[in-house]
């Protein structure tokens, strides 16, 4: 049984939220010409919009849920590259300035990491000519590509999975690993799980508990100047742009969380930090890149973590019914699927 989390939201509401979201949060950071082109697009394309890609000298590309589309000079969607509006270096320069609020210097760290989070929690990926200093990335000098990823916040995305993640008897949250290939709604799901855990779920008689989010890539909470732009619940503390292992230790030391949430674990230090959290009696919620758990087990660190029996639940996501389809939920101790 596979469920698309997007289906849980009424169609009309989704439409209007998407268009207003784009006009309020995405358009202000686009250069005028591109802004105009996107404003003129029909609402159903805006509704499916996931990424806006600006590449110098290449046509403006909009990634939609299923395919991608270009925009002609007249503001019409097209699939022929030759007709597409070609992004100029001026467009890119303006876009970079607008994205950084005309303060590129304030985002040096972010640029080193390859992305900037803008207001509303949307991430903008950057690439171009990198200058290095003693073998380490110093800054990206000539920015030639931008990828504006529209962070969809789907309240209620986790409604279907929450019952499986909470122990019906002890009313405690299980250690959970979310496995998903890229662009399948992993972050959307973990964000909503965090929100629900933080707020509590009256229907399941689950009282909210303190959540510490170590948001290394500013993706879960979408922090803009440290303030979460997404609803992650009121019992949630966010360590923005903090290395995971260190961040988890910081959280454990001082913030006293009952649940620690991070995204994309995979390094050795992460495993050590996870164990530390377990020892402190903290529940862990995290994600990993991969198709399913067999694939995950190929990677030594993840395999080690899984073999330790840390996780009690594993949620796999896929695109079989659009982004955010929950493919499976596995009870690790018995190895059985809970959804079938």
Partner 1 sequence: MLKLIGACLILTACANFGFTWAGIYEKRPRQIKGLEGALQLLETEILYGATPLPDAMEEVALRCDSEIAGLFRETARELRKMDGSTGGEAWQRALDEFFPVTALNKQDVHILRRLGSSLGISDREDQAKHLKLTKSQLAAAASQAEMNAKKSATVYRYLGVLSGLLLVLVLY
Contact positions vs partner 1 (CB under 8 A): 28, 30-32, 35, 93-94, 97-98, 100-106, 108, 139, 225
27 Cα distance to chain centroid: 20
d(CA 216, CA 219): 8
In the complex with partner 1, which residue's Cβ is closer, 34 or 277?
A: 34
Q: Centre a 10 Å sphere on the Cβ of residue 22 and count the other Cβ atoms it contains.
A: 22
Of 103 and 170, which CB lies nearer to partner 1 in the complex structure?
103
Instruction: Tell me the CA distances in angstroms from 50 to 34, 112, 134, 229, 282, one per residue in order.
Output: 16, 24, 37, 18, 34
Give the DSSP per-residue string, 47-93: HH--EEEEETTSB-EEE-SSSEEEEBTTS-EES-GGGBPBPPHHHHH
- Torsion sign (Cα): 96, 102, 104, 106: negative
Q: Select 64 or 98, whichever has its Cβ closest to partner 1.
A: 98
Q: Which is nearer to partner 1, 141 or 171 (CB)?
A: 141
Please give the span between the terminal C-alpha atoms of the chain, in angstroms, as a whole number.
6
- Nearest distance from C-beta of residue 71 to partner 1, angstroms: 17
Question: What DSSP state is assigned to residue 252?
Answer: I
Taking the complex as a whole, the smallest distance from the CB of residue 20 to partner 1 amounts, in Å, to 15
Phi, psi dihedral angles at 33 (to 5 degrees): -60, -50
Rounded least distance, CB 197 to partner 1, Å: 32
Between 19 and 204, name the residue whose CB sits nearer to partner 1: 19
CB of 240 to partner 1, least distance (A): 15
- Smallest separation (angstroms) from partner 1 to the CB of 107: 8
For partner 1, the closer CB: 105 or 234: 105
Write down the least CB distance from residue 243 to partner 1, Å.
19
């Amino acid at each position: 049984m596979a469920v698309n989390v997007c289906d849980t939201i009424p169609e009309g509401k989704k439409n209007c939220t998407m268009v207003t979201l784009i006009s309020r949060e995405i358009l202000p950071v686009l250069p005028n010409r591109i802004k105009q082109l996107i404003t003129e697009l029909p609402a159903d394309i805006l509704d499916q919009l996931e990424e806006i890609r600006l590449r110098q000298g290449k046509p403006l590309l909009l990634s939609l849920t299923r395919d991608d589309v270009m925009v002609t000079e007249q503001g019409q969607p097209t699939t022929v590259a030759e007709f597409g509006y070609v992004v100029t270096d001026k467009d890119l320069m303006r876009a970079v300035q607008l994205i950084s609020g005309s303060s590129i210097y304030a985002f040096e760290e972010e640029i080193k990491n390859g992305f900037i989070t803008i207001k509303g929690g949307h991430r903008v990926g950057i690439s171009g000519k990198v200058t290095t200093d003693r073998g380490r990335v110093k800054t990206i000098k000539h920015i030639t590509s931008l990828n504006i990823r529209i962070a969809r916040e789907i309240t209620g995305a986790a409604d279907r999975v929450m019952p499986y993640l909470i122990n019906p008897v002890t009313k405690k949250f299980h250690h959970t690993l979310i496995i998903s290939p890229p662009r399948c709604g992993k972050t959307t799901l973990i964000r909503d799980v965090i929100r629900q855990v933080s707020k509590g779920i009256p229907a399941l008689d689950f009282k909210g508990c303190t959540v510490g989010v170590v948001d290394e890539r500013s993706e879960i909470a979408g922090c803009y100047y440290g303030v979460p732009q997404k609803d992650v619940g009121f019992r949630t503390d966010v360590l923005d742009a903090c290395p995971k292992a260190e961040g988890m230790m910081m959280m454990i030391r001082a913030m006293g969380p009952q649940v620690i949430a991070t995204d994309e674990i995979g390094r050795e230090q992460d495993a050590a930090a996870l164990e530390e959290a377990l020892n402190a009696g903290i529940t862990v919620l995290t994600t990993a890149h991969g198709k399913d758990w067999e694939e995950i087990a190929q990677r030594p660190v993840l395999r080690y973590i899984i073999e330790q029996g840390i996780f009690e639940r594993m949620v796999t996501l896929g695109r079989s019914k659009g982004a955010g389809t929950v493919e499976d939920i596995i009870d690790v101790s018995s190895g059985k699927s809970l959804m079938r």
